[in-house]
Amino acid sequence: MLTFPASTKVFVCTLPTDMRRSFDGLSAMATSVVQQDPLSGHLFVFRNKGGDRLKVLYWDHDGLCIWYRAPG
C-alpha cells in the first residue's frame, strides 16, 4: 500500500501522452504542460490517446518513480 502526505496534490495532464516517454519526457511535460515542478513530491498523471493506459510520475526524495497501468 502506498501512502502520501495529506499535502500531496494530483495533477492530471489533459493532453494525450506518448507512453514511450520515460523520466525525462514526462518531467518535461510536467514542467511545460502542467506548469509544475516534477520534483515537488506531487503526483503527475498522464494518459495515452485511447485513454486506456496511465503513467504516474512521482518524486520520492531519492529519485523519480513511474507507475504504469495498462489494460488487462
Residue count of the chain: 72
Using an 8 Å Cβ cutoff, are 38 and 26 in contact? yes
Using an 8 Å Cβ cutoff, are 56 and 30 in contact? no
Per-residue pLDDT reduced to its tens digit, 1-45 = 778 889 999 999 999 999 999 999 999 999 999 999 999 999 999
Global confidence as pTM? 0.91
The cell for 72 is: 488487462
The Cα–Cα gap between 45 and 10 comes to: 7
